[in-house]
Amino acid sequence: MSDSPYQPMHGTTILTLRKGGKVVVAGDGQVSLGQTVIKSTARKVRYLAGEKIIAGFAGSTADAFTLFERLEAKLDKHPGQLMRACVELAKDWRTDRYLRRLEAMMIVADKDVSLILSGLGDVLEPEDGIAAIGSGGNYALAAARALADRDDMDAEAAARRAMQIAGDICVYTNHHVTLLSLDTQ
């Protein structure tokens, strides 16, 4: 096993895509324990802040729930300021002895911005509005970038097709996709 802090999380694919006045976040439903599929219909994507923000996670489930709770607390403290709330969470995540041990990554999006959060203190905004995390993340990212310019696909269709491609390639990603969206206009 690599000591790289950027090694992909095993067990999921989370994708965000902005196109045509919408932002979508999609996640597959597979939960694996080693080489065994434990559940195929997990929901790794959810609305936060009264359905104004979408968040998805890759990594340990218990750790992800902890991060969702912490992010919600930061959003309560900084309403309508997703970037600030994420930066505050990232600071805590990097410096807090307990949080530092969490093994998860998150994608969060609101009508204005999409962000990747990591335990290294990263709060990254993709230039093209497309980002993906998890073991199938690179497959979904490549597919989404290829599909984003197609006029015959809206954001949801492009994200679903990208997730299908990732599920065809990554053994830790299945075809049971949860997709949530927000209008960006």
pLDDT digits 0-9 by tens, 145-158: 999 999 999 999 99
Q: What is the pTM of this model?
A: 0.91
Q: How confident is the model at residue 87 (pLDDT cuts 50, 70, 90)?
A: very high
- Tens digit of each residue's pLDDT (9 = 90 or more) over 113-128: 999 998 778 899 999 9
d(CA 81, CA 5): 28
Provide the b/e sequence for 106-137 (b: ≥16 CB within 10 Å): bbbbbeebbbbbbbeebbeebeebbbbbbbbb
Distance in angstroms (rounded) separating the CA atoms of residues 184 and 18: 8
12 is an active site residue: yes
Domain boundaries, the chain: 13-179
Q: Which of 12, 16, 173, 178 is catalytic?
A: 12
Contact call for residues 161 and 147 (beta carbons, < 8 A): yes
Which H or E element spans position 141?
helix 137-147
**Overall residue count recorded for the chain in this entry:** 185
Q: Is residue 139 a contact partner of residue 170, using CB atoms and an 8 Å limit? A: yes
**Tokens 């104004």, located at residue:** 52
Query: Is the model's pLDDT at 79 over the cut of 60?
Result: yes
DSSP letter at 156 equals H
Q: What CATH number matches the domain at 13-179, 3.60.20.10, 3.40.50.970, 3.10.50.40, 3.40.50.10310?
A: 3.60.20.10
- Describe the strand order of the beta sheet including 114-117 as a list of residue ranges: 45-48, 53-59, 104-109, 114-117, 123-124
Residue range 26-44: average pLDDT?
90
- The answer to whether the beta carbons of residues 132 and 16 sit under 8 Å apart is yes
How far apart CA 85 and CA 111 sit, in angstroms, is 15
Do β-strands 45-48 and 104-109 pair in parallel, antiparallel, or remain unpaired? unpaired
Res. 172: pLDDT tops 80: yes
